[in-house]
C-alpha cells in the first residue's frame, strides 16, 4: 500500500506510513467489531459491497481482513465476549464499593423474543463510578419474578458477585421485579425491601400519566403504548 501511494506521488506523512506498514489484522478486526457493537449495526454490515469498497479505498489490507459472512462475525463476537468475561470478573473483584445491579426486560417488535439487560454499577479501583453492562440473556417463557430471579442469579454467579459484594437493586416498578428481588434475597439471605430501590423517572412518568389522563389508560395513545401492549402479550405467553 505504501509503495503504491509513493509511486502515485500521494503526499504521506511518516506517521501515516508507519501506521500503514504496521497494519494488524487482529487489531483491525477488534476495532471493526467494537464499532459494529457500539453503534448497534447489524452483523451483516460487513457483507455489504458499499461498506467493503469504503474500507478497501482506505486500506486494501483492511478490506481483506473483514469477514465475508455474518455468521463468522457472530462467532467472533461470542469468542471475544468469552475472552473479556474473566477480565470483567477481575475488574468487579477490585471494586471499592458494593456492586449494585439494575436489570430491565426488552421485547422485540411483535413480542416474539425477550431479553434481559443486566448492568453493574460500582466504584472501580481508580475511584471512578462505572456503569457496566454485563449480560443480555434471552428470556424464554413468561417473564415471572421467579424466572427473572433465576436468570439474574445465574449471571451474578458467572461474574462472581456474591452476597458479600452485592449491593442494591435499582428497578422499575413492575410487580414481577418485587417478586424477583424477593426470590434473589431468599437465595442470598438479605432484606428484599431494604435492597430494592425503585426507578425515580419511571415513578414520575406514571404520576404524569395519571395527572394527564386519569384512570383512562386508552387516552395515553402513542407508540409507547403499542410497545407496552406487545410486552404484556409476551408476558402472558
- Domains of the chain plus CATH, in order, are 1-76 (no CATH), 95-218 (3.30.420)
Which of the two residues, 237 and 128, has the higher pLDDT score?
Answer: 128
Flag whether pLDDT at 220 surpasses 60: no
Q: What is the pLDDT of residues 126-147, one digit of tens each?
A: 999 999 999 999 988 778 999 9
> Which pLDDT belongs to residue 232?
46
| Cβ(199)–Cβ(173) below 8 Å | yes
Flag whether pLDDT at 20 surpasses 90: no
**Per the confidence metrics, is the pTM higher than 0.85?**
no
How far apart are the C-alpha atoms of 150 and 138, rounded to whole Å? 12
How far apart are the C-alpha atoms of 90 and 88, rounded to whole Å? 5
Flag whether pLDDT at 231 surpasses 50: no
Amino acid at each position: 500500500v505504501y509503495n503504491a501511494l509513493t509511486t502515485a506521488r500521494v503526499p504521506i506523512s511518516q506517521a501515516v506510513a508507519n501506521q500503514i506498514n504496521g497494519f494488524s489484522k487482529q487489531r483491525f478486526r477488534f476495532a471493526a467489531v467494537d464499532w459494529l457493537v457500539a453503534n448497534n449495526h447489524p452483523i451483516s454490515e460487513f457483507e455489504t459491497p458499499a461498506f467493503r469498497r469504503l474500507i478497501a479505498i482506505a486500506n486494501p489490507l483492511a478490506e481483506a481482513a473483514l469477514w465475508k459472512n455474518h455468521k463468522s462475525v457472530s462467532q467472533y463476537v461470542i469468542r471475544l465476549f468469552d475472552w473479556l468475561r474473566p477480565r470483567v470478573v477481575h475488574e468487579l473483584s477490585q471494586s471499592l464499593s458494593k456492586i449494585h445491579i439494575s436489570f430491565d426486560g426488552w421485547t422485540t417488535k411483535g413480542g416474539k423474543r425477550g431479553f434481559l439487560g443486566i448492568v453493574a454499577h460500582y466504584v472501580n479501583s481508580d475511584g471512578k463510578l462505572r456503569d457496566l453492562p454485563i449480560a443480555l440473556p434471552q428470556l424464554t417463557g413468561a417473564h415471572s419474578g421467579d424466572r427473572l430471579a433465576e436468570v439474574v442469579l445465574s449471571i451474578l454467579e458467572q461474574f462472581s458477585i456474591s452476597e458479600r459484594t452485592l449491593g442494591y437493586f435499582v428497578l422499575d416498578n413492575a410487580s414481577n421485579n418485587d417478586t424477583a428481588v424477593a426470590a434473589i434475597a431468599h437465595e442470598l439471605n438479605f432484606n428484599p425491601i431494604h435492597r430494592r430501590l425503585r426507578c425515580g423517572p419511571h415513578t414520575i412518568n406514571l404520576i404524569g400519566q395519571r395527572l394527564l389522563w386519569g384512570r383512562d389508560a386508552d387516552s395515553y395513545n402513542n407508540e409507547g403504548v403499542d410497545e407496552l401492549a406487545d410486552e404484556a402479550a409476551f408476558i402472558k405467553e
